[in-house]
Structure 1
Amino acid sequence: MTTKRILAALATASAAALVLSGCVAKTDVAASDALAVTSTDGTCEVSSGTATSGTLAFDVTNEGADVTEFYLLAEDGLRIVGEVENIAPGASRTLTVVAQPGEYFTLCKPGMLGEGVGRTAFTVNGDAVAIDGEDAELKQQAVYLYAAFVKDQVENLVPQVDALVTAYESGDDAAAQALFPQVRAYYERIEPVAEALGDLDPKIDYREVDAVAEGLDWTGFHRIEKDLWVPAQDALNADGETPAWREWTPSTPDERAAFGDQLISDVAELDEYVHSDEFQAALDEQGVAGLSNGAIALLDEVATGKITGEEDWWSGTDLWDFAANVEGSKMAFSLVRDFAESKGEDGAALVEEIDAGYAALDESLATHGSLADGFIFYPELTDADKRELTDLINALAEPLSQLTVTVLE
């Protein structure tokens, strides 16, 4: 795993229906036309489940006891197309977006942690709407939405890590094994963010061989992983030479408590950072070039770690990480694809080639499972399976390598 990345990697808006908070196509909607949203500690009620394409305003009132957020999500339920946060109890804020025809979800997040409440389908009817606004404004809004996506992923990661650590520290290894790859998916989608934070990523996600090579205390996901999956008697360590069994000693309950508490603390530090002005300033400095380079960096993460089976050496859950990295790369591309496509015939052809590359990779990966239902374990892949995935990654990497320069033309 490389530890120095350009600070970017994910995206939050669909390519076909880019919705930019604050970038409106026509006169702002009148207050009487706004959709009313009521957020409580357990519900998220929107006054209508349908709207006509164009400028939409959601007036969000927090009637709960905790600070809340409101999201408009794309059809996949993952990409954020608009959000408003930090709505104090008793307060109201408005989210304004340009909504293209399509299917969406609305969602509130009391306490600004976890999966949120009241996820409800929301349909936008009508015709496609032209997006007005200066190029610089649109690009800045893309960066804002990326920041919102990262915060959402970490807000989900925090309670998921708590659940994993609770099972691990209590000795419920079966439950912890089931949670392990699912929890890591949130981290893998935003991995370059953490990798830019000095020693935080080594604490959270270093493999044993990397920690030993750099003389670091080995903690984080993979230290927990080693406790959860006992190596076979004839297995070799990640270096390919040392018998794994000889170096494996079960952690004591006190050691498990220390490793678990450390992971919780480090993820809390990550959560604090992504909600800081420093984080937003770092993204602003990188701009859309950072997002474009992030699509490339996450695919490289797959090629150098996941496809080799080196990332989750103990558990064999590499395909979960693989899928999350590809998801992040694809969304990063979706956030800048319109900028690339606007660069004439060459830009449009590049976008078409990248779209086809992602589709082929997704199709191949789907034959082995999914993040929702689980994948086969890495040792179950045949050599032919690995070659096919490698070839598809390499085929996609070539046009992606041209993306940043095209976006910046």
Structure 2
Amino acid sequence: MRRARLTALTAVTTAAALAAVTGCTEKSKAGDDAVKVTASDKKCEVSKKEFPAGHVELAVENKGSKVTEVYILFPDDRIVTERENIGPGTKQNLTAEVKAGAYRIACVPGMKGKGIRQDVRATGGGKVAERDPRLDKAVAEYRAYTQAQADETMPKVKVFTDAVRKGDLAAAKKAYAPSRIGWERTEPVAESFGDIDPKVDVRADGLEEGQDLAKDWTGWHRLERALWKDKKIGQREKDLATRLDKDLTDWQKRVGKAEITPSSMANGAKELLDEVATGKVTGEEERYSHTDLVDFKANVEGAEKAYALLRPVAAENDPALAKELDKQFAALDKLLDTHRAGPDSYTFTSYEKVGKADRKELHDGVNALAEPLSKLAAAVVKKSK
């Protein structure tokens, strides 16, 4: 879920995760033509309001006291690319691919609300530079993958929502985690639309200011609370199940039309690792069902799929990076296997039973992968710059 909120209960754990994940690119150097973005608690300053279309690099520095996130947005608020969880006093570089036209760069201090925005423009003939045909193939295959994930998710969602509508608590609990796997694998693409994620995957503490918990909270996590905390299914929950069907059908219809580029695939893979670090490892995402490891596994699989499609070009441009990514993906997959609770590939130990030492080991594994993964976008576009 995008824009995770921090609570007092997890502030210490999450702060540690952010320090490691967001600090991993602090020493990286941006190119001379990079757009410098200086974020603070009240400002979002950019060094250039115009830049050539094609591959654009943002050199982000957070000089504020709050964790922030930075977006490149289309004028209608669709997301071109993003980098979340940029800790105070840290720097990160973000590579994106843009066509000529109007955009906005947004800094979101505290990762809440619409943020502070700057209008910018990419100039040129309307097309990005010619790129390696292997990258076009990777984009096409990734688009097919995201559509397949959505198509395969809908029957699983119906099993879940049918159980809710029947008032079958046990069946709904059993179907809950499987219904989320395809979404978690492709979450950055789903979030790029801007309006779907808040309907289906928001947590109670993720509502915007002015929204009403009783009226405006919808989606999986609202139903999760009813099933595990309230332990009852009323008419409101049955109506929300039908709404979830409708909202996810919208996702299924739109996902194949998402704006996808090689750099957005690479950045999306990093975003999935950030999701793990700030939501799954802390236990915040599935706070009632404790099915965090199912989401964890799906996020890692989604990141690994994007990397696998981009790997031929990345390995040619930066062999050492590809070798390190191969190593760290394998290590994290192996570590997750130690927490399986059955022969099924998605049967994991309830996260409430995962102790502090094991959580730290998982956290360290995510961080070890996040650091090289943050360099994937730059490696993919290296030769075409």
TM-score (norm 1): 0.60
- Contact kept? 2:227, 2:233, Cα under 8 Å: no
CA distance in 1, matches of 2:210, 2:305: 33
Higher mean C-alpha displacement, 309-318 vs 168-177: 168-177
- Contact kept? 1:221, 1:263, Cα under 8 Å: yes
Q: Residues 118-137 of structure 1 correspond to what in structure 2 (within 5 A)?
A: 136-137=132-133
CA distance in 2, matches of 1:336, 1:258: 41
After superposition, the Cα gap between the structure-2 partners of 1:262 and 1:274, relative to the gap in structure 1 and judged at 3 Å, is: same
3-state SS of 2:148 partner = helix
CA distance in 1, matches of 2:231, 2:350: 23
After superposition, the Cα gap between the structure-2 partners of 1:249 and 1:395, relative to the gap in structure 1 and judged at 3 Å, is: closer
Unpaired segments of 5 or more residues in structure 1? 10-133, 231-247
| Alignment equivalent of 1:323, drawn from 289, 297, 302 | 297
After superposition, the Cα gap between the structure-2 partners of 1:365 and 1:198, relative to the gap in structure 1 and judged at 3 Å, is: same
How far has the Cα of 1:199 moved from its partner? 2.2
* 1:229 and 2:225 aligned: no
* 1:337 and 2:305 aligned: no
CA distance in 2, matches of 1:135, 1:351: 20
> In the alignment, residue 368 of structure 1 is paired with which amino acid?
H
Q: Deviations over 1:47-106 (max 9, x none)?
A: xxxxxxxxxxxxxxxxxxxxxxxxxxxxxxxxxxxxxxxxxxxxxxxxxxxxxxxxxxxx
* 1:393 and 2:374 aligned: no
After superposition, the Cα gap between the structure-2 partners of 1:202 and 1:160, relative to the gap in structure 1 and judged at 3 Å, is: same
Q: Deviations over 1:114-173 (max 9, x none)?
A: xxxxxxxxxxxxxxxxxxxx9532211111111100110110111111110001111111
How many residue pairs align between the two structures? Answer: 257
Q: Deviations over 1:375-408 (max 9, x none)?
A: 0111100100011011111111111111111111
CA distance in 2, matches of 1:373, 1:289: 29
CA distance in 2, matches of 1:249, 1:377: 18
CA distance in 1, matches of 2:201, 2:356: 27
| Alignment equivalent of 2:253, drawn from 264, 268, 272 | 272
CA distance in 1, matches of 2:184, 2:139: 19
> In the alignment, residue 295 of structure 2 is paired with which amino acid?
D
1:298 is matched with which residue?
272
1:311 is matched with which residue?
285
| Alignment equivalent of 2:180, drawn from 161, 180, 184 | 184
CA distance in 1, matches of 2:131, 2:224: 46
> In the alignment, residue 291 of structure 1 is paired with which amino acid?
M
Q: Deviations over 1:165-195 (max 9, x none)?
A: 0011111111111111111111100111221
CA distance in 1, matches of 2:193, 2:332: 30
> In the alignment, residue 312 of structure 2 is paired with which amino acid?
D
CA distance in 2, matches of 1:373, 1:303: 19
CA distance in 1, matches of 2:80, 2:294: 23
- Contact kept? 2:134, 2:313, Cα under 8 Å: no
Q: Deviations over 1:198-226 (max 9, x none)?
A: 22111100001112656150010011111
> In the alignment, residue 353 of structure 1 is paired with which amino acid?
E
Q: Deviations over 1:276-318 (max 9, x none)?
A: xx42xx12xxx21111111111111101111000001111000
2:112 is matched with which residue?
none
Q: Residues 58-73 of structure 1 correspond to what in structure 2 (within 5 A)?
A: none
CA distance in 1, matches of 2:313, 2:132: 11
1:170 is matched with which residue?
166
1:377 is matched with which residue?
350
Q: Residues 5-404 of structure 1 correspond to what in structure 2 (within 5 A)?
A: 136-211=132-207, 213=209, 215=211, 217-230=216-229, 248=230, 250-252=232-234, 254-275=235-256, 278-279=257-258, 282-283=259-260, 287-343=261-317, 347-369=318-340, 372-404=345-377
The runs of 4+ residues in structure 1 deviating greater than 3 Å are 3-9, 248-251
> In the alignment, residue 323 of structure 1 is paired with which amino acid?
K
After superposition, the Cα gap between the structure-2 partners of 1:373 and 1:137, relative to the gap in structure 1 and judged at 3 Å, is: closer
- Contact kept? 1:222, 1:312, Cα under 8 Å: yes
CA distance in 1, matches of 2:281, 2:274: 10
> In the alignment, residue 396 of structure 1 is paired with which amino acid?
L
CA distance in 1, matches of 2:217, 2:379: 41
Pairwise CA RMSD:
2.1
> In the alignment, residue 400 of structure 1 is paired with which amino acid?
L
Identity %: 39
CA distance in 2, matches of 1:366, 1:214: 42
Higher radius of gyration, 1 or 2: 1
CA distance in 1, matches of 2:82, 2:159: 28
How far has the Cα of 1:2 moved from its partner? 2.5
CA distance in 2, matches of 1:8, 1:291: 11
3-state SS of 2:308 partner = helix
> In the alignment, residue 260 of structure 1 is paired with which amino acid?
A
3-state SS of 1:375 partner = coil
After superposition, the Cα gap between the structure-2 partners of 1:150 and 1:373, relative to the gap in structure 1 and judged at 3 Å, is: closer
After superposition, the Cα gap between the structure-2 partners of 1:148 and 1:329, relative to the gap in structure 1 and judged at 3 Å, is: same
- Contact kept? 1:224, 1:259, Cα under 8 Å: yes
CA distance in 1, matches of 2:210, 2:293: 27
- Contact kept? 1:6, 1:192, Cα under 8 Å: no
Unpaired segments of 5 or more residues in structure 2? 4-70, 72-78, 84-129
CA distance in 2, matches of 1:321, 1:357: 19
